[in-house]
Structure 1
Amino acid sequence: MNSAPLPPQRFCLIRHGETTANADAIIAGVTDVPLTRLGRDQARALSQRTWPKQIAIYASPMSRAQHTARLAFPNQHFTLHDGLRERHWGVFEGRPLTEQPLREDTPDQGEGWTDMIIRVQTAITEICAASQGRLPVLVCHSGIIRAARILWTTGDAGQRPPNATPLLFEQTDRKMMEKPL
């Protein structure tokens, strides 16, 4: 599926800090769960990093992403983008991760993987176009990062990305490379 048109520029994806659902191995796609103490510390640590001077910060509307953005980029404006929300796992929300269905399956009352991929492609393309030459920094979720990998890197979703770790997606030839920022 990685034949999607490349975004017009490089971008950075950051999975939110650790949440109570992450710590308890619970599925919490659209379930609003708070950051743990560790998650808040992870987010605050991002504020100590050296960032490019010109960044445009976007966040998922989920509270865990917004909280991470506020702690990581204190006193900086960020824009919410609904396309950065995590996948809706339907009837599996709140269940143990061990019960999570295959990614390609559409859970009852949930969002299909293909629908999510299209949503992510649209969101990241729109954000990159609107960033006016600034590096887009998107505070989002594991599923968003995995969809970006499918769309523009190896075509494989890969392992769950670590919490609060900036990942730079940068164009090389006809695909994007993912690397720590």
Structure 2
Amino acid sequence: MSFPSLPHRTFCMIRHGQTTANRDFIVAGETDVLLSDLGREQASQLASLEWPHETVLYVSPKTRAQDTCRLAFPGRSFEIHQDLRERNWGEFEGKLVSELPSRHAEPRDGETWETLVERVHNAITECCARTSSSTPSRLPVFVCHAGVIRAVMGLVGIGADAPSAPNAKPLFFRWTGAGHEMVEQI
């Protein structure tokens, strides 16, 4: 599977705060679960961060991502993008994370890894283009899910087998002029 490179600009990805499913080690890709108390606290702590640039916010349609964004960026508007949603694990939704097959497996009634990567590529490309045309100096920030961030890691050459992104922690994909590198600050 080959895709064109992602836009040649820096952007930020934030995984939602811990959910009740994360806490209980349950698969909740398509399932709309709520933030745990810890997840709400994690998201609220993001509100105190000093951002190096003005931001424009893009968010998954899942409640956990929207609640994280509202707590992290109080009073700010954001755009929901359907393609920033987590992978649909089909038959594995609601099961223990330890029961998940390889991400390259094709779960019955679920979404393939290739389909996830394609829609994430399209979402990041579209949102970055929209940001560049309207406010090029602003930093696109995506509040989404571990699977979405893992897809981006694969697209920029870091590798899709890296550990899951931590909850409620900004990960910057800095454009170096030759490619993207993932850093915790820019």
Q: Same fold (TM over 0.5)?
A: yes
Residue in 2 that maps onto 1:170:
174
State the 1:153 CA deviation: 3.0
Residue in 1 that maps onto 2:144:
140
Map 1:1-181; keep pairs closer than 5 Å.
Answer: 4-131=4-131, 132-133=135-136, 134-181=138-185
Does structure 2 conserve the Cα–Cα contact (< 8 Å) formed by 1:146 and 1:158? Answer: yes
Query: How many residues are treated as equivalent by the alignment?
Result: 181
Q: Scaled by the length of structure 1, what TM-score is found?
A: 0.96
State the 1:51 CA deviation: 1.4
How far apart, in 1, do the equivalents of 2:2 and 2:51 lie?
29
Deviations 1:46-97 (A, max 9, x none): 0000013421011100000000000000010011001100000001000000
Letter in 1 for 2:146: S
State the 1:173 CA deviation: 4.3
How far apart, in 2, do the equivalents of 1:2 and 1:12 lie?
23
Deviations 1:14-68 (A, max 9, x none): 0000000000000000101100010000000000000134210111000000000
How far apart, in 1, do the equivalents of 2:28 and 2:84 lie?
15
Gap runs ≥5 in structure 1: none
How far apart, in 1, do the equivalents of 2:116 and 2:101 lie?
15
Letter in 1 for 2:124: I
How far apart, in 1, do the equivalents of 2:2 and 2:39 lie?
31
- The percent identity for this pair of structures is 48
Gap runs ≥5 in structure 2: none
Q: Scaled by the length of structure 2, what TM-score is found?
A: 0.93
How far apart, in 2, do the equivalents of 1:7 and 1:27 lie?
31
State the 1:3 CA deviation: 5.8
Runs of 4+ residues deviating >4 angstroms: none
Deviations 1:107-149 (A, max 9, x none): 0000000011000000001111111311001100000110000
SS for the counterpart of 1:86 is coil
Does structure 2 conserve the Cα–Cα contact (< 8 Å) formed by 1:2 and 1:155? Answer: no
